[in-house]
Amino acid sequence: QRERFAAERDLAAARYGYLLGYLQLQAAVGAATTPAPLEEINQLLVAGQEDAPGSSAP
């Protein structure tokens, strides 16, 4: 149980880091002023809900 919690926590931290880096990259190239990067992130977040704790059988 503890290992699973730690793995889920680490996965969430990695996803957050990826999304933050993606936004920083988009801002650096000037693409953050368009809605496309935010729409892409929204799709990733919605898709990530399928992997949320409690959404699948143990």
Note whether residue 9 is domain-resident. yes
pLDDT value for 32: 64
Task: Determine the structural domain holding residue 8 and report its residue range.
Answer: 2-50
Note whether residue 58 is domain-resident. no
pLDDT value for 4: 95
pLDDT value for 37: 79
Note whether residue 34 is domain-resident. yes
Half-sphere exposure of 19 (CA within 13 A, CB side): 15
CA distance 6 to 2: 6
Note whether residue 55 is domain-resident. no
List, run by run, the mean pLDDT of 10-residue segments along the chain (58 residues).
94 90 86 78 78 51
pLDDT value for 57: 43
The 8-class DSSP code of residue 34 comes to: S
**Total domain count for the chain?**
1
pLDDT value for 58: 44
CA distance 13 to 7: 10
